[in-house]
Chains A and B, each alone.
Chain A
Amino acid sequence: MIDKEEETHNTRDVVFQVRDLTKIYKMGEVEVHALRGADLELYSGEIVVFLGPSGSGKSTLLNILGGLDTATSGSVSYRGKDLTNASEQELTEYRRYHVGFVFQFYNLIPSLTARENVEVVTEIAENPMVPEDALAIVGLTERLDHFPAQLSGGEQQRVAIARAISKNPEVLLCDEPTGALDSKTGIVVLEALERINRELGTATAIITHNADIAGMADRVIYLSNGIISEVKTNTVKKAPGELKW
């Protein structure tokens, strides 16, 4: 079974390749090892859920994959391009053109409407979607001119997803996308992510400490104390609607 899976993965495009990735935060004389030699690959079009308790290194790994942070040692390559030695400008362009972020607390610009929050990205991206189309994918055509304060938590997160996908990214990195939502709203958000993955083929990495979400992933990567402790492949994926927590 495992051999078959490996064979399947070998035939798919590798989006990220991570080797011996280490991240050490220095706080005065104290060193905090957030990642201790992580190795992994992420493949095109798959949904990967990173599971682990707080402090396990999930967010640090996601930040380094997203070009928001740099590694202390080891390597990360995106489509064969080394991110660990990329310049500030190269990382900015990488984030601008290739990666979409979805944050736990939505991170919308409060002074801009839903449409404008998406436009912020489409103005600087190459070959972006029309903002209205991106918002239509997440079912928010009626809320284009509403400000974040006028939207519910779930709607705000869907605007954030629309913003993330509007640049047609190859990878969607989601940091606790349902962490601030109740289960019903969280499922709506996960449905939006699953639909985007299915229809647009966007590789999606979801960080969560909610083990129930793992059911919708192609693969589940468990982190503990900065180490990838286990990788599981779901032979049968659940639809977000089937998830319960």
Chain B
Amino acid sequence: MDLMFFYSLRNLLTRRLTTGLTAAGMALVVFVFASIVMLAEGLKKTLVDTGSYDNVVVIRRSAVSEVQSGIERLKASIIETQPEVAIGEDGRRLLAKELVVLITLEKKKSNSPANVIIRGISGSSLELRPQVKLSAGRLPRPGSSEIIAGRSIVKGFKNVGLGENLYFAMRPWTVVGIFDAGNTGYSSEIWGDVDQFMQAFRRPVYSSILFKLRKSSEFESLKKKIESDPRLTLEAKREADYYREQSEMMAKFLRILGQSLTIVFSIGAIVGAMITMYSAVANRTGEIGTLRALGFNRSSILVAFLMESLLLGLIGGFSGLFFASFLQFITVSTTNFQTFSELAFSFKITFEIIYKSLLFSLVMGFIGGILPAFRASRMNIVEALREQ
């Protein structure tokens, strides 16, 4: 059987040009499939990494995101006084009442406008997000028109460099710092004092409350307590779950887009593989007759040709994945449909994507090869031997 494997492999290598072209077609399909799934995975990872499992986000019931949410000050005070909220080293509660607003900024490359999240932060906002590090400048002073911008915002938008002034909410705001939140959604935000933002944007309510749990295990009981309190009409979610949900709509869209494109492309690749394999069978009719005369049964011939087609698919799969893996070095910025804001994220390859892409390429090889292999296995020996 080992020899039959090499027989299949060498036959592919013998027909280098047709093998190369067919594998290239399959590689293209796998590339498209893998790249779009990698994009969806990158988006998901960026948003999921944004949240912490032990933090709780409270938003208005039925609000899909912070942008749509509103929490009155009184309700915020009730949440703040819950005993499940963790206490920091300085004796203050690890809780941040925040405002999230969208503004429009001009992109550097395209000069086109895009929505950017403005987040009003309070005392514990930074402490609750240890992944956020100040990389340049300083933090904004409370009560001032100072802001800090995320790394991706500085990279992609105009007028947000350190020391530059940004005009929004009818006021100029000075960028006094740049922060880096790694590959998380926070890198695509601008932060400033929550009270200043509430005044400037004429918003009497917070968008969300973020706090750390005293004990992670208390989440379910606290959630039940908040959501059943008739005064609140609020919803509590673990921060990690909240951001996972934020990625779902866009990731789903990308997956559907990827699958649709892939299905259309794969039909072409399968037909290509089928033509190649039919041609291989036609060119090797004499060999098929010989192998049958030597004592190989029909199933061995079927397996040999199917193996050849599967190898063809696998070559395409590995090639497509090889080129797709370079996309990891690219960061893209696009609008997250859920929050209507700009979000920068990278392509992310995972073991599951590798496994699915290779499986997909094998399926293409199988579908493309099964009919030619079946034909080869059903050949009349004497007639096949005459075809030399």
Contacts and interface: CB of A to CB of B under 8 A. Distances in A.
B294 A116 contact: no
List 10 tightest A-B contacts by C-beta distance, closest first. Answer: A96-B295, A111-B10, A107-B290, A95-B295, A92-B297, A68-B381, A105-B388, A69-B382, A101-B293, A111-B11
A207 B199 CA distance: 105
Interface string A89-108: 10011011100010101011
Nearest to A66: B293
B10 to A, nearest CB: 4
Contacts of A101: 293-294
A112 B304 CA distance: 14
B294 A68 contact: no
Given A103-B290, A109-B290, A68 B295 contact: no
Interface in A17-46: none
Interface residues of A, number: 29
A125 B3 CA distance: 14
A120 B297 contact: no
Interface of A: 63, 66, 68-69, 88-89, 92-93, 95-97, 101, 103, 105, 107-112, 116, 119-121, 123-125, 163, 167
B291 interface: yes
Interface in B265-318: 286-287, 289-298
A92 B382 contact: no
B120 to A, nearest CB: 70
Contacts, number: 72
Q: Which size bracket describes the interface of B in this complex?
A: 20 to 34
B212 to A, nearest CB: 66
A78 B382 CA distance: 20
B385 A103 contact: yes
A163 B10 CA distance: 20
Given A107-B286, A109-B287, A97 B10 contact: no
Given A107-B388, A116-B6, A125 B295 contact: yes
A95 B291 CA distance: 10
A109 to B, nearest CB: 6
A88 B300 CA distance: 14
Interface string B1-15: 111001100110110
A123 to B, nearest CB: 6
Given A111-B11, A121-B294, 16 more contacts: A68-B381, A89-B297, A92-B295, A92-B296, A92-B297, A92-B298, A93-B295, A97-B295, A107-B290, A107-B385, A109-B290, A110-B14, A110-B287, A111-B13, A112-B7, A120-B7
